Structure 1
Amino acid sequence: MRTAYLLGLFTGISAYDQRVEDPKLAPAARRNLKLEILLVMALSLGQSAVYSLVSFADKATRGPLGGQTTAMNTAKNTREYFDLAYQLLEIGFALVPVLLALYLMKRSTGTTARMIGFDLRRPGRDSLAGLGLFLAMGIGTLGVYAAGRALGITTALSTANLGDYWWSIPVLLLSAARHAVVEEVIMLGVLFTYGRKLGAGAWKIIIISAAIRGSYHLYQGIGPMIGNMIMGIVFGWVYHRFGRVMPLVIAHFLLDAFGFVGFLLLGPAIGIGA
């Protein structure tokens, strides 16, 4: 694998391209792969995209987006420990489509979680790469959000609304981890694997993945949709180039953790979301 990585640096061929073949598929096998990816998407981020589109239509027909607020990580019960139970259940069940996707991917394509780089073999390098992506994308994300707010095409974001409990920050961090794993494993590792098996080119998969990523953020406004599409293109290219999803999971986790916990700790003081 190290030889393939070094070869990729000099030839421009990604580790992903060297590892994944594009065999001739029988029509029945092709139909099965398409059905599996559609079902996974319908249970996870595709479902989120549909709800996001409806939510955006609702907000757009109510009044200017700039005058509205989108609340995230909201309380689910007025009693503290029932709220905690609901929060943990939601996070846990949200990860089930990831397990299903990984199971189907291995069964139908022979590709394992380790083969898409969703593992802990390289904690140091993955963490450094993830941190670098977080810093680069974090600056861009803040810029796109500020521009969207100034143009009135982005709602104010209130990203932490759990109440003042001892477990609020741990739950917010778990929520950030959940979003990172669901989005990056499915939108990159799984979608790329199925796309390549179906004969799609890398850039076609990158654009489709980025468009879906943008669509399920549309409920926040046009600015976050555009910003997440750009992030999807960058993340998609990085995954295509190096073939490991874990640095992207780490980067996504850091972005959401900073957004959620930072809002909880600093938001009221500096006016974030106002």
Structure 2
Amino acid sequence: MSQLDAPQRESGTIAPVTTIRTWLFPPAQNPTTPLGPAARRALWIEITIVLLVTFGLSGLSSILSLLESALAVEPLSEQTVALNAPRSSQELIDLARQLLGIVRLLAWAALGVYLLWRGGFGPKLVGLARPRLRSDGVPGVGLAALIGLPGLVLYLVARTAGLNLTIAPSILEDYWWRLPTEVLWAIANSGAEEVLVVAYLITRLRQLGWSENSSLVASSLLRGSYHLYQGFGGGFGNFVMGLVFGRYWQRTSKLWPLVIAHALIDSVAFIGYQALQGRVSWLP
């Protein structure tokens, strides 16, 4: 046992403090050799294109939506935004368009996995090995509770303070396919966001020499930006979610718990809203 190890074993306070510090301020990761100027330029071009096709463009659009809502006559809290809304007055066309939206998100996730794989980071390396109940499912449920419950409180507080729109998670018609479609939306949202915003973006920024903290903040800002259409509370809440999820991935290299947690949070929001709307006084 080295002298550096001894204090941590003998003291009941140093080891936990060291563990917390390591989680909050992890050492730099260097998954590849330093890139040359041409490779760095190509990587920046790839990141820009991917973000403009996916969540980067969504973030810019969300900023405009928030600006439009803020300039409206009605206060933010009196305006409503629906996360899942009908896309046609015809039932089957609505279903087809819902499924196309789901496929698009899954394609975004596949794009991120493919580009990482082409760059030498296979699914197993970025945390997408075969999912396991104990090592992936249990942490996923824990993360869902850690983020979901405080997130609901933050939303209610932000709306009361006039900093958030009223969110209607789902206003789909009560067709036979509503419930499975909402679950599919939750899965597609979680897959696309966690693959692209966490695994893809942080890995690419690591390759460019960014520190763990800098890449984490960039990832979290992106996540918060494309939720700003919900209001300031939605943007801030998802920024915090990004910090928690991103750091968990940086420290464990496990992506399935994030996908599971995100899918659970969205599923509960979509299904629970329609189940509780009009039945509880605290739900707008």
Does the TM-score normalized on the shorter chain lie above 0.5?
yes
- The residue that corresponds to 1:40 in the other structure is 50
Q: Are 2:89 and 1:78 aligned? A: yes
Indicate yes or no: 2:113 matched with 1:102. Answer: yes
Bigger mean CA offset, 116-125 vs 132-141 = 116-125
Q: Which residue of 1 aligns with 2:157?
A: 147
CA distance in 2 between partners of 1:13 and 1:138 (Å): 22
Instruction: Work out whether 1:177 is the aligned partner of 2:195.
Output: no
Question: Is 2:261 the partner of 1:243?
Answer: no
Structure 2 CA distance for aligned equivalents of residues 11 and 71 of structure 1 = 40
Q: Partner letter of residue 153 of structure 1?
A: L
Letter in 2 for 1:246: W
- 2:126 corresponding residue in structure 1: 116
SS in 1 for 2:167: strand
Taking structure 2 as the reference length, the TM-score comes to: 0.87
Amino acid at match of 1:169: L
Higher helix proportion (structure 1 or 2)? 1
Alpha-carbon distance between aligned partners in 2 of 1:177 and 1:132, rounded to the nearest angstrom = 17
In the aligned structure 1, how far is the partner of 2:114 from the partner of 2:263?
23
Matches within 5 A, 1:150-169: 150-169=160-179
The one-character-per-residue Cα deviations of 1:111-136 (angstroms, maximum 9, x if unpaired) are 01221112324233200000001111
Larger mean CA deviation between 145-154 and 262-271 belongs to 262-271
Question: Corresponding residue for 2:68?
Answer: 58
TM-score, scaled relative to structure 1: 0.91
Aligned equivalents of 2:101 and 2:114: distance in 1? 21
Rounded Cα–Cα distance in structure 2 between residues aligned with 1:71 and 1:187: 23
Does residue 212 of structure 1 match 2:216?
A: no
Ranges in structure 2 where 5+ consecutive residues have no aligned partner = 1-18
Cα deviation for residue 82 of structure 1 reads 1.3
Q: Is the CA contact (8 Å cut-off) linking 1:22 and 1:198 kept in structure 2?
A: no
**Residue-by-residue CA offset, 1:22-65 (whole Å, 9 max, x unaligned):** 41211111111111111111111111101101111111100311
In the alignment, residue 164 of structure 1 is paired with which amino acid? D
**Residues 132-189 of structure 1: CA deviation (Å, up to 9, x unaligned):** 0111111210111011011011111111111011110100000011110011111111
Q: Output the CA distance in 2 between the equivalents of 1:53 and 1:207.
A: 18
Amino acid at match of 2:122: T
CA distance in 2, matches of 1:236, 1:222: 21
Aligned to 1:6: none
Match of 2:273 among 243, 257, 263: 263
Question: Which residue matches 1:25?
Answer: 35
Q: 1: distance between equivalents of 2:232 and 2:133?
A: 35
**In structure 1, C-alpha distance between the alignment counterparts of 2:86 and 2:20, rounded to whole Å:** 51
Percent identity between the aligned chains? 35
